Every structure is written in C-alpha cells, then in structure tokens.
Chain A
Amino acid sequence: MFGKKRVAIVGAGVTLFRRNLKETGKELAYHAAKMALEQAGMELCDIQSVVMGSAPDAFDGVHMKGEYLADGAGAYHKPYTRVFVGGGTGVFAPLAGWWHIASGQFDTCLVVCEEKMSSCYPHPQYAFTTIFDPILERPIGMNLIWIFALEMNRYMHKHNVKKEDIALVSVKNKQNALDNPIAQLAANITVEDVLNSEIMAWPVQRLDVSPTSDGAAAAVLVSEDVAKEVTDNPVWIDGVGWCIDSTHWTNRDLYYPDYVEYAARMAYKMAGIKNPPKEIDVAEPYDPFDYKELHHMEGLLLCKKGEAPKLTREGVTQRDGDLPTCPSGGLLGCGNPIAAAGMMKVCEIFWQLRGEAGKRQVPGDPRTGVAQAWGDLMQYGSVIVLRR
C-alpha cells in the first residue's frame, strides 16, 4: 500500500460467552490469548507487544483494570497498552494492534479483549448509571435501555420502520448463533416471539436486546515479513477507521450515526473501497440491539439511509444472501461481553475470509469483510476492513 507497512491477522480465539463464567477476567484473557497463539502457531515469546481492550472498570470493581489484567493477557515484561472507547473498544483494540506494527515499531502484537460483567452485582446495568453527566443527566436515574429506546423510536419514526422488520434481525442473528459453539442465546424464534416479549422501555422489548455476558477474544497481528513465515493465508488489515461525536448526545438527530459513517469513510479510503455494498462480501455490524444492526448497516454505507429494514426483509442479509451480516450470530445470539463481543466480530470476519467458519461459512468465497463497533454515549464508531 504505497510503501506503507501492511499488517496481517494470523490467528484468532474466542472463549465461551456466558452470563456468569467461573473463570476470573485474567483467566478468560489467558484462554483467548492461548487459542489465538495456537492458531497462529506461535508462542508467547514470539510476541513483542500486547494491546488490551476492556470496557468500564466498574464491572470488575478494579481500578486500572488494564494493569490488573496484564499477566493474564500475556503482557508480562512486555510493552502493553490498554485502549478504551466504551462499547467501541472491541473493534478499536485491533486498530491499536495495527499501528503497533504498521509503525515499524514491532513485528508482532497480541490483541486481547476481555469482559467480566457478572462481577457487577446484582446487574451490570448499575455500572452504566455512572456513564452520564453528573449534573445534567445522572440525577434522572437513566439507564442504557432508556436512551437506546429514544434512538430506536427516532429511527423508526424517521423512516417509518415497522417493529416486525426490526424483529427480523433478532430472529436471524439468534438463528445464526445456533451454529456458533460459543453462543449464549442461540435460538429458533419467530417475529411474534420478539413482539410478544416483555416491554422494557418502549419500543425496546426483551428479545430486541443482547444479554450481559462474560467472555474474551484475541488475535495475533504480525508484519508482512512474519506473516509470510507463519502462514499461507494471512488476512490483511487494509482499512482502519474511528470517530467520536460530541458529548452532547441530546443535541443531535439520533436517526443516523454520522460518527459511524465518518469512521467507515476513513477505513474505506485507506482500503481503497469506493462502492461498499459491491466490494464488501461479509459484514459484522454491531448489534447489541436489533435496530442497531440496521442503523449501522446504513452508517457503514452498505445501503441507503432507511433501506436496511427492506434488505433484511428480502433476505439479503441472511448467511446465503448477497450481503451476509452477523453470520456469527452477533451480540444478539452470541452474547455481549462488551469489548470481547466487538473483538469476536473481527475474529469471525477473519475466519470467514479464511474459509474456516465451519457451519457458519458464508458461500461465495468472500474476499473482503468489515467489522464495526459502537460505543460511548451513542457517540463512537470503530471500523476495520479485512481482506484475504
């Protein structure tokens, strides 16, 4: 790429995603890192740098959680950095791994994302009460379901989207997850099941939402030279993008995520992608809520604004459709250990492009894939473009 250094992914690993795993966060990080190293055929001594991705310290009740997780993630005696952009962290961490190598500073980087939400008792939602402005917003006692209900409502209103169409995303992803051995909430459900599930904050219902989970995911990133030595089929990181919008989420129109579009444009420009729907073969947009997959497909420029529900209804986003989205089962099916969930999406694209996704494999020999995560106060987009 114009004399700039290329970076490849050569191994990935994801642990089970479950509501309450017995393993500590360090152990989860260790298992994911070990799986990634094994797939890469490498050992910890081959790793020159380590990047950690993990969401709020409040889940674990550990200050400087990155430091605490260091030995579990294999960072003992190594250059080690934790990056943190809220829910966007899972896809952002491999971007940090990318610049460790693209800078020429290192030849190898282990990227580990870990989340242990079950330590937050009785429910991790309590940790989210402290993400709001302490003067203007926190006294209202808001939680995430409420504010995403506002966004979902706005999206439905603007494009006249029916709840039935949004529910299709939940049905599709939970079904895709049946083929994913890590999945927490794989199920065969119908649109009626979603529409009849408990109302949490209108229009959000129980089956519109991904669960809280424990889990970890990791990948081994290497320079072009090392990639040639260790594998015949590297997957290249050809585009990276990220963007943050203003803190004042109440001042923007929530129907469309501009910040995701800006992040996507940054990544597509780097990857030389001019027509995303044509050039991208498989996508993992962030789907903590079912409407978010649609929202993010539009932000990723995979379709026009307001068009994602139609594509979903027509089956375009099914695993055997023209543009398969969330073939892994996504967060709705696999679970949502926040940073690990984003990283899982990157791992899934990696396996899809290598033809190693087993029963989840999308047909048609995919060559280009995109994964995306979303975070902060409906404010952050992180995007990675992978190519075989």
Chain B
Amino acid sequence: MSDVAIVGVGCVGFRPITPELSYKELMYEAAVKAYEDAGGINPREDVDVFVTCAEDYLEGFSIFDEFVPDQLGAALRHLFTVSGDGMLGLATAYMLIKTGHFDTVVVEAHSKASDILTYMDIVQFGLDPIFNRPLGGHPYYIAGLEMNRYLHDTCTTEEQCAQVVVKNKKNAILNPHAAYGADVTVDQVLCSERLFHPLKKLEISTPADGCIVMVLASEKVAEKLTEKPVWVKGVGWCTETPSLETRDWTRAVYTRLAAEMAYKTAKITNPWREVDFAEIHDLFAYKELQHMEALKLCDYGEAGKLTEEGLTALNGEFPVNPSGGLLGVGYGLEASGLQKVLEVVLQLRGEAGARQIEDAEVGLAHTWRGIPTATGVVAVLSNTK
C-alpha cells in the first residue's frame, strides 16, 4: 500500500479577529496557498477528494457542508464533511489514499471564532442535556475540576502549569501565525484571575480566527509535486466516552489509546527518544502536561517536572509546542489539530524560521476536541520515508 505524504500547506491567521474576511474568504485564501505550495495543482482536475472539518453550531448553520465547495474549487467534485477536528480529517485523508483508489486528498479546517457571540453557550449545548446541562454555569468548570484532580493525583504544582504558559507564549513571539505571543512570568500567570479554581485566566487559550488547508498525496504523486514531502508515518484516534461521570479524570485515556494506535503503525516504541519534538493540545496549560504523559513521552506525573527543568523549551531536549501552542497561537476551534500538524510540517521542512529546531526528522502532532469531549487524535510525521 502506498505511503501517504503531506505535499502542500496553506494557512491564514491566526488572529484575534478578521473583520475584513468572511469564513469563505479565509478558506479561499488558505486553499490557494496550499494548492500553490503543492506545486501549483489545479483543484478542478488534480484533486480526487476534499474533506472539510466543521461543526454546525460553531458555524451558525444546520448542514454547514452546503457552504464549502465553491471556495475550495470543489463544486461538482467529491467533497464531504467530517464533524470533528481537522486532524480527524487528516486521518480520513490518510485512509482514503491507503485504499489505493485516490491519489490526492485536500483537508480543510477553519475557525471564525470572532463571529461567535455566545461561544460558551454553544459549549454548554455540548453537555448531556439531562444529566449535566441543567447544572448551569460556565462549562469550563469541568476543566477546573479536572485540573484539580490532575494536580492532586500527580503532585504536579500550579507553578509547573504556569511554566507551560510562560514557555508557549514565549515560543509564539517567534511565530508569525500566532496571535497571542507574549513575555509573561510565572508570577503573572499565578496572579491572574482564578476563573475556575485552580485554573487561572492566563492558563486558558483565547479563541482566534484562521484557516488551514492541506494537500495529501500518495507516494506516486507526492514525489512529482514536491521536493519536501512530509510523510504520515502513523495516525491514531480514539473516543473515550462522552459521559463525564465515568471517564478517567487524571489520565487522558483517549490520547493514550490514540497514541498507541499511531505508534504501532509508525513502529515507535520509545517516543521520547524516537521523536524529536511534539505539538500537543494545550487548550488549558495543565492539559499539555496531562497529554504528554498520555502520549508516553514521560512517566505519569513527571511532565510538570520536565517542564520546570526546561526540557520542553524550544532549545530543550524535547521541545513541546514550538509554535506557541494554543496558548500562544490562539484556540482555532476545529482547526486546532491542523495548526499542530502545520507546525510539524514546517519544522520538518526546515521552514520554521526563528523557531526552527535543528535536525528535526520526526515530529508528533496531537489534538483533543475540547470541553466536554474525550476524543483525541495523534499523528507521527517524518521528513524521511
């Protein structure tokens, strides 16, 4: 079966607001960039399948699929929607190419968060309508509860979580795609408002607008389109359970199972050694640490210590979130996963500019679908076959 490569990427954003562009214009611009990057392909002829990743409530439509084809060049072509994070779209494209029936697949995900006036009410609608929603309140209380449980069970400290914010926002200063780069100190993080005890304001990613389009291709086509293909060595995804009551509140089980699936395909046994860096979902600062452990990059309860010691800094032994993560780049809703993949692709191509990691050969991208889900996706990418 053919190997699968990412041969083109296009990104618009991320920015706090984009009042001059509609979501369609964001998609068009990112798509044009991606098609150019993939050797100037013509979407009307050269693309077999288009995958878009979106959720209706975030778009303000029922059946958002209707509004996708034209700006991607996909009218009267083979397009569909995955109701999920962009990395689920990447997993879908990977499978489509592996069937041997399709050579070129385009994946799109975007965020027009600035158009959403009542984001927290929408998240509230994601809760179980009988058991959880009637409790009311801002749904991020779930993250506060989970962080509390995580700190308690792993003896991770609030300072270590604050370190994640300091590191990621600092990395973001070097990333032109990042909306929220900043030089902050641990004290500033710790002194920021406690919104959902023990979760603090600066530990929560702020939404941002942007769009990412990627072109994936089979081995045969990839080598014609680009000199720098980035190979998808393995991908895994998993849903733990929608039930808040029965899920594991300390270990991100969905991430562990997704990682096991991706590592198995990519033949990775010791990710800390065999992978050079990782882009990990950090919607909340503690989530980066919890996910690092679930990704088996370190032992249970050890991630905070590694962060404190600077091992996950840009110049550390194993850089985590060199892009600035969601804390620095901004929370791109369903585009969060592709933002992670984008950074891995740029690093592996040696195009990450001031934040380039030397000799990066294998990178890991990870995403989570946010509150209130327990769904994650993991991909291992490499610049060598």
Residue numbers of A with Cβ under 8 A of B are 3-5, 55-58, 60-71, 75-86, 92, 96, 99-100, 102-105, 127-128, 130-131, 133-134, 241-248, 258-259, 262, 266, 270, 375-377, 379-380
Q: Which residue of B lies closest to A48 (CB)?
A: B261
Q: Report Cα–Cα, A134/B324, bound state, in Å.
A: 35
**In contact, B83 and A84 (Cβ under 8 angstroms):** yes
B75 interfacial by beta-carbon distance below 8 Å: yes
What string of 1s and 0s marks CB contacts (under 8 Å) between B222-252 and chain A? 0000000000000011111111000000000
**In contact, A56 and B237 (Cβ under 8 angstroms):** no
Interface size class of B (residues with CB under 8 A): 35 or more
Q: Which residue of A lies closest to B261 (CB)?
A: A79
B21 interfacial by beta-carbon distance below 8 Å: no
Q: Report Cα–Cα, A221/B237, bound state, in Å.
A: 19
B82 interfacial by beta-carbon distance below 8 Å: yes
B84 interfacial by beta-carbon distance below 8 Å: yes
B83 CB to nearest A CB, Å: 4
**In contact, A92 and B101 (Cβ under 8 angstroms):** no
A223 CB to nearest B CB, Å: 12
Query: Which residue in A66, A67, A133, A244 is a CB contact (below 8 Å) of B74?
Result: A244
Query: Which residue in A3, A62, A103, A243 is a CB contact (below 8 Å) of B77?
Result: A243
**In contact, A58 and B62 (Cβ under 8 angstroms):** yes
Query: Which residue in B78, B92, B257 is a CB contact (below 8 Å) of A242?
Result: B78
Q: Which residue of B lies closest to A3 (CB)?
A: B100
Residues of chain A with a CB closer than 8 A to B56's CB: 56-58, 84
B98 interfacial by beta-carbon distance below 8 Å: yes
Q: Report Cα–Cα, A72/B95, bound state, in Å.
A: 25
What string of 1s and 0s marks CB contacts (under 8 Å) between B80-95 and chain A? 1111100010011011
**In contact, B70 and A99 (Cβ under 8 angstroms):** no
Query: Which residue in A77, A84, A99 is a CB contact (below 8 Å) of B240?
Result: A77
Residues of chain A with a CB closer than 8 A to B369's CB: 64, 67
B76 interfacial by beta-carbon distance below 8 Å: yes
Residues of chain A with a CB closer than 8 A to B69's CB: 244-247
Q: Report Cα–Cα, A262/B79, bound state, in Å.
A: 12
Query: Which residue in A83, A259, A262 is a CB contact (below 8 Å) of B80?
Result: A83
**In contact, B240 and A104 (Cβ under 8 angstroms):** no
Cβ < 8 Å to A, chain B residues 350-380: 369, 372-373, 375
B50 CB to nearest A CB, Å: 8
**In contact, A103 and B98 (Cβ under 8 angstroms):** yes
B55 interfacial by beta-carbon distance below 8 Å: yes
A184 CB to nearest B CB, Å: 23
B37 interfacial by beta-carbon distance below 8 Å: no
**In contact, B83 and A62 (Cβ under 8 angstroms):** no
Residues of chain B with a CB closer than 8 A to A4's CB: 99-101
**In contact, A62 and B125 (Cβ under 8 angstroms):** yes
Query: Which residue in A64, A76, A244 is a CB contact (below 8 Å) of B126?
Result: A64
Residues of chain A with a CB closer than 8 A to B257's CB: 77
Residues of chain A with a CB closer than 8 A to B299's CB: none
Q: Report Cα–Cα, A70/B88, bound state, in Å.
A: 15
What string of 1s and 0s marks CB contacts (under 8 Å) between B21-57 and chain A? 0000000000000000000000000000000000111
B60 interfacial by beta-carbon distance below 8 Å: yes
**In contact, B99 and A99 (Cβ under 8 angstroms):** yes
B219 interfacial by beta-carbon distance below 8 Å: no
- 10 A-B pairs, CB-CB below 8 angstroms? A56-B63, A61-B129, A63-B57, A64-B369, A67-B242, A79-B238, A80-B237, A82-B84, A83-B83, A127-B62
Q: Report Cα–Cα, A69/B236, bound state, in Å.
A: 20
A164 CB to nearest B CB, Å: 33
Q: Report Cα–Cα, A19/B92, bound state, in Å.
A: 34
A218 CB to nearest B CB, Å: 17
Q: Report Cα–Cα, A322/B99, bound state, in Å.
A: 34
Q: Report Cα–Cα, A311/B351, bound state, in Å.
A: 62
B66 interfacial by beta-carbon distance below 8 Å: yes
Q: Which residue of A lies closest to B63 (CB)?
A: A86
Which 6 A-B pairs give the minimum distances between C-beta atoms? Answer: A103-B98, A56-B62, A103-B95, A63-B125, A63-B126, A246-B75
Q: Which residue of A lies closest to B96 (CB)?
A: A99
Q: Report Cα–Cα, A107/B232, bound state, in Å.
A: 21
Q: A70-B239, A71-B243, A99-B95 are in contact. Are A262 and B76 (CB under 8 A)?
A: yes
